Every structure is written in structure tokens, then in C-alpha cells.
């Protein structure tokens, strides 16, 4: 329930920005994997990471640009990707878990 309320709040906050290019997208953590493992968004988009697993996990950028710290079961964390590029990330507690966020420039 907390995850749903957090996601709803993130979507409402995004909607309050009006015509901005910002939107919210979710990556779920389940069975020691990020789903989807690769996600493409636009600069300014918010990505919500939701831990649906039985274990704690992190969302940690390989380049050090973001780190969720520990996310217990049913906790979530969000990050706004502001610059185009490819951002590889992993779980510090389970280094075999890997994902990539691809950020594209906003075109008008």
C-alpha cells in the first residue's frame, strides 16, 4: 500500500509540473533482478525503483552519480535523470544484479 501511495504521489507531483517533459516510470526489483533491466527515458524523467523482493537491494550507479542506499522489501526510491547518456547501475548487496538507464535528449 505504501508503494502504491508513493507512486501515486510521484505521478501527481509530475502532473503538477504542467507541460514539462517530465514523467515517471518504474523499475521493479524482484527475484534478484531489475525489471526492466534496460529502460529508455528522456532527460528530466523520474524513474521510480520499487523493491518487490524479499531481500534488501540498492540501486547504485557505476559512475557514482546516484545511490539509493538500502531498500528494504516494499520500499521505493526515485531519481530524476537530467542529462542524456547511458547509466549502468547495480546492487551493492548483490553485484550480479545489473541494469541500465538510457537517457535521450528531449526533442521538440
For residue range 26-84, list pLDDT tens digits in order.
Answer: 999 999 999 999 999 999 999 999 999 999 999 999 999 999 999 999 999 999 999 99
pLDDT at residue number 19: 37
pLDDT at residue number 16: 39
CA angle 49, 55, 58 (to 5 degrees): 40
Q: Output the pTM of the full model.
A: 0.78
Q: Which helix (H) or strand (E) holds 13?
A: helix 2-15
Mean predicted confidence (pLDDT) in 4-12: 44
Domains of the chain as residue ranges with CATH: 2-104 (2.60.40.420)
For 34, 73, 86, 96, 106, the CA distances from 91, given in Å and listed in that order, are 9, 14, 17, 8, 29
Amino acid at each position: 500500500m505504501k508503494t502504491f501511495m508513493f507512486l501515486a504521489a510521484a505521478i501527481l507531483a509530475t502532473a503538477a509540473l504542467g507541460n514539462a517533459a517530465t514523467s515517471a516510470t518504474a523499475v521493479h526489483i524482484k527475484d534478484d533482478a531489475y525489471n526492466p533491466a534496460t529502460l529508455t527515458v528522456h532527460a528530466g524523467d523520474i524513474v521510480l525503483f520499487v523493491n518487490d523482493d524479499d531481500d534488501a537491494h540498492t540501486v547504485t550507479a557505476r559512475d557514482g552519480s546516484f545511490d539509493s542506499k538500502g531498500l528494504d522489501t516494499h520500499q521505493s526510491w526515485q531519481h530524476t535523470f537530467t542529462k542524456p547518456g547511458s547509466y549502468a547501475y547495480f546492487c551493492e548487496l548483490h553485484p550480479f544484479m545489473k541494469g541500465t538507464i538510457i537517457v535521450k535528449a528531449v526533442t521538440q
